[in-house]
């Protein structure tokens, strides 16, 4: 059975002035998880949240923390203690991915591995085959900035992963709206990260509902 569609709003697009209220608003609007992008200004040319933002966001739904960091290893404990339910690292980072993923699980969180648009999908095969990752996050924009256009060419990676591992949680992040989610879902994504699109809509609950409906309507069919 395929894993269920989940909508994960990215708080990178939220109002930083009252992050706690924004997180509460997302929960009330029907989000399944909150996606928290952490940027170190080195791995990507931007800075964002630290572990304190995770503490602020802790609430009724899981927190999915995406570490866009050149060396996430020393910070895993901080994010786990702050309340992260899932911690994803990049396969392109300088750390030992196998060691980091094992440490994430040892800290009590789900472990995720992320790959950038230009990274061959084969680079995560050994990690997934070894059972070290609870989810794979496929970036559909170059990481570092919100509001970029969706790169449909990454859908082939989703398809390859979904066919090899039907039960695996597959996340897509970058440029997701009501249209691009159709292709992402049809190629196997079930964890849908959306930031700028959702926060531009007049009614957040309706926007999440529509995004979910589009993803479910076009969800990958194992029979095909």
Q: What is the pLDDT of residues 111-142, one digit of tens each?
A: 999 999 999 999 999 999 999 999 999 999 98
pLDDT for res 47: 56
Residue tagged active-site, from 32, 134, 169, 173: 173
Two tokens, residue 183: 């292709």
Strands 110-115 and 135-139, bridge-based pairing: parallel
pLDDT for res 48: 66
Higher pLDDT, 122 or 196: 122
Which whole number is the average pLDDT over 70-98? 95
DSSP run (H or E) holding 39:
strand 34-39
Domain ranges (residues) in the chain: 6-217
Q: Using one digit for the tens of pLDDT, what is the confidence trace for 181-195?
A: 999 999 999 999 999
CB of 102 closer than 8 Å to CB of 80: no
Residue 224 has pLDDT above 60, yes or no: no
> Is position 37 annotated as part of the catalytic site?
yes
Cα gap 47→137, rounded to integer Å: 20
Residue tagged active-site, from 32, 37, 169, 177: 37
- Per-residue pLDDT band for 53 (boundaries 50, 70, 90) equals confident
* 6-217 topology per CATH: TIM Barrel (3.20.20)
Which whole number is the average pLDDT over 88-105? 96
pLDDT for res 214: 98
SS3 assignment, position 92: coil
> Is position 173 annotated as part of the catalytic site?
yes
């Amino acid at each position: 059975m395929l894993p269920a569609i989940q909508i994960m709003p990215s708080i990178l697009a939220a109002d930083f002035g009252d992050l706690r209220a924004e997180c509460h608003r997302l929960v009330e609007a029907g989000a399944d998880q909150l996606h928290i992008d952490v940027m170190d200004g080195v791995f990507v040319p931007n800075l964002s949240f630290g572990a304190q933002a995770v503490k602020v966001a802790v609430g009724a739904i899981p927190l999915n923390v995406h570490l866009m960091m050149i060396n996430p290893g020393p910070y895993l404990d901080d994010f786990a203690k702050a309340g992260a339910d899932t911690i994803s690292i990049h396969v392109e980072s300088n750390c030992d991915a196998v060691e980091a993923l094992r440490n994430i699980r040892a800290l009590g969180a789900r472990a995720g591995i992320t790959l950038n648009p230009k990274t061959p999908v084969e680079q995560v095969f050994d990690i997934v085959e070894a059972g070290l990752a609870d989810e794979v996050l496929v970036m559909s924009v170059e990481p570092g900035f919100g509001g970029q256009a969706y790169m449909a060419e990454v859908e082939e990676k989703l398809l390859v992963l979904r066919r090899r591992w039907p039960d695996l949680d597959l996340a897509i992040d970058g440029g997701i709206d009501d249209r691009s989610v159709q292709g992402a879902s049809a190629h196997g994504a079930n964890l849908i990260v959306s930031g700028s699109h959702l926060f531009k809509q007049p009614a957040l609950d309706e926007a999440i509902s529509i995004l979910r409906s589009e993803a479910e309507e076009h969800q990958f069919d194992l029979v095909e």
